Amino acid sequence: MKGGIKPSEQYIRKKTDYFINRKLYIPCDFFHFTSIPPSVPILRQPLRHCDSCTRHAGNIRHTRFGLAKSGKISYNRFCMDNIRVYTGGIAACNGYLVITGDNTYIAIDAPLGFVDWILSRKPDAKITDLLITHQHFDHIQDAAKFKKQFGCTIHAHSPYSPELTLETLARNAWDPDMHVEPFEVDDIVDEKRRTANWGGQLWHIHFVPGHSTDSNVYHLVDEDKLFSGDVLFAGSIGRTDLPGGDEKQLLNGIHARILNQPATTIVLPGHGPYTTVKHERLTNPFLS
């Protein structure tokens, strides 16, 4: 890997141990973003790849793993409610749709291929709003396309900036062909904003920097679902070695803004399977 982006071996070992010990799938973001040093012995063990990688873009099979598989959350229940998941792009980023009305949706994040996936299923879908958890390239590659196709309002913590998208770094380190089309953020949702009404629903907004300087977590209050971006994952936290990262800040924010939510709150992360606040409080090795 070029570009000096290399998580510490300790970080890699801790994260890998966690998944191996629990026989869970390794989240794709971890693979995609990590060059694995040969000196990490544990990694010679065969690993299972999580199912949410780009090869399976567009399905939601990955939600069967993790908690759903262990019976803590019913997969069927998840399917029947009003959230849909798309996974795509080089980092297997999750984009979510929240149904807010008849064929009307709010989108959370814009991974590559999300718009085409929506149109292939619902050619006449109406997307009123796009909430961006943070501007790392994997979460915004389809943002301009969302605007063009649906004319939706784009909400984000900060105006579009290549310094936030890390697109140059990503091109150098991971994908020379990667392209980000600039887009305009219509609604700046910074730390002064705590609540919003989007799609006729109440949202709480939590600013939790540390993975990036512009990370927002969006809580759909009535349904108690929290879109955590790359702040908190099932069994892990966002990496903090990218520009603008700060582990202490991230951990403080997770404790202050997420772990104090009701235990039953469902957490829908930017990569990998969903989880609950309770499950992360009890088992996440980065939070103990």
Nearer to Zn ion, 51 or 230 (CB): 230
Measured CA to CA, the distance from residue 288 to residue 286 in angstroms comes to 6
Burial label for 222, CB within 10 Å (0-12, 13-18, 19+), is exposed
- By CB under 5 A, is residue 157 in contact with Zn ion? no
Question: Residue 33 or 117: which CB sits closer to Zn ion?
Answer: 33
Element (H, E) at 80: helix 75-80
| Separation of alpha carbons 159 and 54, rounded Å | 28
Q: Which is nearer to Zn ion, 29 or 280 (CB)?
A: 29
What's the N-to-C CA distance of the chain in angstroms?
A: 30
Q: Which stretch binds Zn ion (CB under 5 A): 5-13, 75-83, 186-194, 270-278?
A: 270-278
Longest dimension (CA), the chain: 54
Smallest separation (angstroms) from Zn ion to the CB of 94: 9
* Strand extents, DSSP E, 132-280: 153-156, 187-188, 195-198, 201-207, 216-220, 225-229, 232-233, 236-237, 266-269, 275-276
Cα dist from 35 to 27, 137, 169, 237, whole Å = 14, 19, 15, 18
Q: To the nearest whole angstrom, how small is the minimum distance from the Cβ of residue 32 to Zn ion?
A: 9
- Closest separation between CB of residue 138 and Zn ion, Å? 4
Stretch that binds Zn ion, among 119-127, 220-228, 246-254, 268-276 (CB under 5 A): 268-276
Instruction: In angstroms, give the least distance from the CB of 230 to Zn ion.
Output: 4
Site for Zn ion in 119-138 (CB under 5 A): 136, 138
Q: How far is residue 63's CA from residue 223's CA, in Å, rounded to a whole number? A: 18
The binder of Zn ion chosen from 88, 111, 253, 270 (CB under 5 A): 270
User: Closest approach of Cβ 147 to Zn ion, in Å?
Assistant: 20
Judged by CB under 5 A, the chain residues 11 through 30 that form the site for Zn ion are: none
Helix (H) or strand (E) holding 104: strand 104-108
Residue 279 neighbours by CB distance under 10 Å: 20
Distance in Å, CB of 266 to Zn ion, minimum: 19
Contacts to Zn ion from residues 178-237, by CB under 5 A? 230
Pattern 226-265, Zn ion, x by CB under 5 A: ----x-----------------------------------
Residues in contact with Zn ion, counted by CB under 5 A, come to a total of 4
Q: Note the residues at the interface with Zn ion (CB under 5 A).
A: 136, 138, 230, 270
